[in-house]
Amino acid sequence: MNREQIAAEQRSRLAVIYIRQSSSYQVSHNVESGLRQRSFVDRAIELGWARDRVLVVDEDLGESASRTGKRSGFEQVVAMTALGEIGVILAIEVSRLARANRDWYHLLDICSITGTLIGDEEGLYNPKEYNDRLLLGLKGTMSEAELHIIKQRLVEAMRQKAKRGELRRRLPAGYFWDEAGRIQKDPDEQVCSAIDLVFNRFAVLETINQTHLSLCEDGVRIPVRVANGKGLEWKQPSSGQIQRPLCQ
């Protein structure tokens, strides 16, 4: 559809600019993408919305669009659309909004009911119209398929690296890779004793849950890696921190 087909009633509602990047690394280093997405404020104004009726939703910076129910910004957009508060949703491409067809078609259904338009870098669409909805559906399907292809490439790259003996996964606390590419125990005796205690307790109790409960009851603290991966700190372990060295 074109600019002339936008109804006055749709312009009386909000124009929402949805901004998302998949990781904190992208937010910090792929600055141009963020600038391009924010430039859609001007696009909304060109389409006839007043500046004070344009809302930028950027709560999902650093969040993957494949995660259902974990993006507060997207959930806000869906809720506002259902309440009839949004006239148009603008995003640089549909993959910004959703990488899962479940989320995408749910949004399209709500937009169809409330008369909300969707726009991307290539055009403006009315989900009520058959041809526009068909095109939006294809865009959503391609977006989900693209994510699957990306994952497959990453998995295959890891497999090839593993075949060459070059795969280096992050090790649990108490272990490190030496220069020859072999896994070694931390030379610190206190660290080794704590790791040995976890393995010995598991050998007796046979389940991770019982091992975790037993260690917590005894007030045992084990070494865990700090957030930046450099150095260790001693703390009461979580079930996952018990599981990792046992299942690595």
pLDDT tens sequence across 180-223: 777 777 777 777 777 877 788 788 777 878 888 887 887 777 77
Indicate the length of the chain as a whole number.
Answer: 248
Judging by DSSP bridges, how do beta strands 232-235 and 222-225 pair with one another?
antiparallel
pLDDT in tens, 217-247: 877 777 777 665 566 777 777 777 777 766 6
Based on the residue annotation, tell me whether 22 is a catalytic residue of this protein: yes
Instruction: Give the residue range(s) of CATH 3.40.50.1390 domains in the chain.
Output: 3-157
Residue environment code for 34-67, b if the CB has 16+ CB neighbours within 10 A, otherwise e:
beebeebbebbeebbbeeeebbbbebbbebebbe
Selecting among 22, 66, 95, 143, the annotated active-site residue is 22
Q: Which of 53-57, 123-127, 182-186 shows the lowest per-residue confidence on average (mean pLDDT)? A: 182-186
Give the pTM. 0.65
The topology under which CATH files domain 3-157 is Rossmann fold (3.40.50)
Looking at residue 53, the DSSP 8-state letter turns out to be G
Long-range contacts of 150-157 (CB under 8 A, 24+ apart): none
According to the per-residue pLDDT averaged within each range, which of 77-81, 136-140, 207-211 is highest? 77-81
Residue range 106-127: mean pLDDT, rounded: 95
Task: Collect all residues with Cβ–Cβ distance below 8 Å to 207 and sequence separation of at least 6.
Answer: none
